[in-house]
Amino acid sequence: MSSGIEILANQEYKYGFVTDIESDMIPRGLSEDTVRLIVAKKNEPEWMLEFRLKAYRNWLKMTEPRHWPNVTFPPIDYQDIIYYSAPKQKTLKKSLDEVDPELLKTFEKLGIPITEQKQLANVAVDAVFDSVSVATTYKEKLRKHGVIFCSFTEAIREHPDLVKKYLGSVVPTNDNFYAALNSAVFSDGSFCFIPKGVKCPMELSTYFRINNSESGQFERTLIVAEEGASVSYLEGCTAPKFDKNQLHAAVVELVALDDAQIKYSTVQNWYAGDEQGVGGIYNFVTKRGKCAGRNSKISWTQVETGSAITWKYPSCILQGDNSIGEFYSVALTNHAQQADTGTKMIHLGKNTKSTIISKGIAAGRSNNSYRGLVKVMPKAENARNYTQCDSMLIGSECGANTFPYIEVMNNSSRVEHEASTSKISEEQLFYLQQRGIPQEDAVSLIINGFCKDVFLHLPMEFAVEAQKLLGMKLEGSVG
C-alpha cells in the first residue's frame, strides 16, 4: 500500500500529561496494616474494615491467574504499589468552586465538564482522580428524582444500609484474585441507586484518571436499579504516560431488580504503552451484572482501545425469568497491546435471552482475544443466545483469537455462535479510493462499518468519540 499512510505517524496519546498536584499518599506495600490505614484515612465504619480484611485474607490464599488468558506480562510486585493516593485539597468541598482549580483544569483538559454551567450535554459526572472522587455534578437535580449518585466514600457515610446490602452481592470478595485485591484496598468509585419506578432523568457518568506513577487504581462501582427503574451509565478513563506499568484493578457490580434496566457503556482509553510496549496500564477488571428480577435487562457496551493489557469479561447473571443480557464490544489493539476480553452469560431463569456482539481489531504486533462463556443451566428453559465475534487483522504480525465456551444443559434452549476473521480487502480500499476517498479515510470508513453493530448501542456523544478514537489509534498502521 502507499507510503502516504506510513508517513502519518501514530498520533501521540494526547491524554498523557501529568498534573502537578500535591498528593496524600500512604507508603507502598500491602498488609493488613495497609488495609487498616486506608479505612482510617477514609474514616470508614467497622463493617467496612471487616469486609476489606476478609477480602484481604482471601486474596492471600489465591494465586495470580497467569496461565489461562492469552496474555504475558512480567510478574507484578504487589508490595511495590501505592494503594492510596489522594490529591491534597481543602478538606470539605461544598461546591465546585472549592475544588482545587488545578484539578478542574485537569478535567477540562481531558474534555470532562465538571463545572455544570459550562456543560451542554445532559450528563452528570463523578470525577475520580487517583484514589478519590473529586467532584460529582448535578447531585441536587438527581436527588429531586430520588436518584442517589455520589462517590463511594460518601455512599458508605450517607447510605450505609444500601451499600451493606449490595456490596459484594454480585462479585463476592473471593471471586477472583484481582476482585479480592480490589475488595481489600478499593479507595473510591461511584455509587448509584435508582429507586423504584424512576427513570433516571440524565445519563450518569464516571471519569477515571490515574495521575500518580507509583499508585495503582482500585475503584469500585455499584449500581442498583430497583423495580421498574432504568439508568444509562457511562465510564471513561485516561492516564498519563509513564515508562512503568501500572495496575488498574476495578470491580463493577450492577443489580437490576424486577423490570429494571441498566445500560453500562465504557470507552476505555488508558495509556497503552509506547510502540515498543514500554509502560502502559494493566487493566484487570471484574465487571458483572445480576438480573435479579423478572424482565430485567443489563446491557454492556464497551470500546476498549487503551491499556497495555486488558483482562476483562463484563458478565450477566440472568437469574430472573425473562431477563435479558447484552454485550456489545469493540476491542482495538495496536503495537504491543494485549487484550483478552469477552463476556459470560449465565442463564438461570426461564426464557432468558442474551446477545453477544464482539468486534476485535488487531494491528501492529498486538494480540487480541475474545473469550466468552455461555452457560445454560438445566432450569433455564427456553433460553436463547446469539453470539457473533468478528476479528479483523491489520498487518501480518498480529494475532486474533476466539475462545468461546458454550455449555448447554437442557434441550429447550437454543445457542448459536458465529465467528469470522478477515482483513481489510484490497478491493474495498481500491473501490473507495477510486471514488476519490483518501486511503486513510477509506480505512476509517471500513473499520467504522465493521464496528457499526456495536457503535449503534453507544450513547450519541460516546459513539462520536469512539469513532474518532478508533481512527486515531489506527493511523499509520495500514500501509
| Residue 6, amino acid | E
- Contacts to other proteins by CB under 8 A: 68, 378, 391, 393-423
| Residue 258 grid coordinates | 424486577
Nearer CB in complex with other proteins: 375/473: 375
Nearer CB in complex with other proteins: 141/417: 417
Least Cβ distance, residue 396 to other proteins (angstroms) = 5
Provide CB contacts within 8 A for 214, sequence distance 6+.
25, 28, 81, 82, 85, 244
Least Cβ distance, residue 383 to other proteins (angstroms) = 10
Cβ count within 10 A of residue 146:
15
Least Cβ distance, residue 162 to other proteins (angstroms) = 39
Q: Which DSSP letter does residue 425 get?
A: -
Nearer CB in complex with other proteins: 102/407: 407
Give, rounded to a whole angstrom, the gap between the first and last alpha carbons of the chain.
5
Nearer CB in complex with other proteins: 173/333: 333
Least Cβ distance, residue 33 to other proteins (angstroms) = 35
Least Cβ distance, residue 216 to other proteins (angstroms) = 29
Nearer CB in complex with other proteins: 9/68: 68
Q: Packing angle between helix 177-185 and helix 32-41, nearest 10 degrees? A: 50
Residues β-bridged to residue 126: 136, 206
Least Cβ distance, residue 422 to other proteins (angstroms) = 7
Coarse DSSP helix, strand, coil percentages of the chain, rounded to the nearest 5 percent: 25, 35, 40
Residues 109 and 136: their CA atoms lie apart, in Å, by: 17
Residues 413 and 399: their CA atoms lie apart, in Å, by: 33
Least Cβ distance, residue 448 to other proteins (angstroms) = 19
Nearer CB in complex with other proteins: 192/393: 393
| Residue 19, amino acid | T
Nearer CB in complex with other proteins: 320/404: 404
**DSSP E strand boundaries for 305-398:** 309-312, 315-318, 324-333, 338-341, 344-347, 353-363, 367-376, 384-394
Least Cβ distance, residue 388 to other proteins (angstroms) = 10
DSSP string, 189-241: EEEEEE-TTPBPSSEEEEEEE---SSB-B-EEEEEEE-TT-EEEEEEEEE---
- Mapping DSSP to helix (H, G, I), strand (E, B) and coil, where does residue 312 land? strand
Least Cβ distance, residue 385 to other proteins (angstroms) = 9
Nearer CB in complex with other proteins: 229/363: 363
Residues 162 and 318: their CA atoms lie apart, in Å, by: 22
Cβ count within 10 A of residue 245:
18
Nearer CB in complex with other proteins: 401/448: 401
Least Cβ distance, residue 9 to other proteins (angstroms) = 22
Cβ count within 10 A of residue 379:
12
Nearer CB in complex with other proteins: 18/409: 409
